[in-house]
Amino acid sequence: MAFHPGLRLRLRRRHDGALAPVVIGDVTLPTGRVVACDPFVCLGEGEAEPFSVVVDPARYRAEAAIATLVRLGVPEGPRPHTRVAAARLVIRDTPTVRWEMAVAEGQDPAVLGEDEFYGYGVDAGTGCFHDAAADGSFPGTEDEEGAVWAAMEAVGDGPGSDVTPRAGSPVS
């Protein structure tokens, strides 16, 4: 739902907003083993496990659903408040027939309680998709130093910012 243009939302009766899908780049998956994690906490640490479903090795489009929010009863300022509400990899450009939770090996959605889910923490407020083979390509992401931090500084930050490896790099 989050990726349908013009979708309206209301948050806790205090904010109104709209969602807009934005293409943020391509993710190269040489092994087809997809990992999602907070890159500033997990990338290069060997902590994030790939999802149990493997896709064909290829390049896949990454999209973000950008939420533009307005506080109800407060005049809009010069810059709208935006956030990334969701992100996805587009594996096929065909209508979705059904959805299922992406899980790592050994995780079973059937055992989850009503308010439980599998996912990852976003301690640094950031998320990424990458191929499992790329994990060791980014050592040293702690203490605001290392390749991931340098790449983010080079492209800037903000909703929809992405880091796309250059051709020939270990993860392209």
Question: Could you report the per-residue pLDDT of 109-153, keeping only the tens digit for each?
Answer: 999 999 898 888 887 778 889 999 987 776 655 566 666 667 666
Its sign, for the CA torsion 81, 87, 93, 98, is negative
**Residue ranges covered by each domain of the chain:** 7-155
Q: Residue 10 burial by CB count (10 A; 0-12/13-18/19+): exposed, middle or buried?
A: exposed
Contact present, 121 and 43 (Cβ < 8 Å): no
Which residues, 6+ apart, have CB-to-CB distance to 135 below 8 Å? Answer: 35, 43, 44, 45, 46, 48
Q: Please tell me the predicted confidence (pLDDT) of residue 34.
A: 95
Contacts of 149 (CB under 8 A, 6+ apart): 40, 141
User: In sequence order, what DSSP letters do the residues of 40-68 get, joined into one string?
Assistant: TTTTTTT-PPPBSSPPPSEEEEEEEEEEE
Q: What is the largest CA-CA distance in the chain?
A: 51
Residues 10-68 have pLDDT tens digits of 666 666 778 888 898 899 999 999 999 888 777 777 778 999 999 999 999 999 988 88
Q: Residue 92: its pLDDT value, please?
A: 92
Residue 1 pLDDT: 66
d(CA 87, CA 24): 9
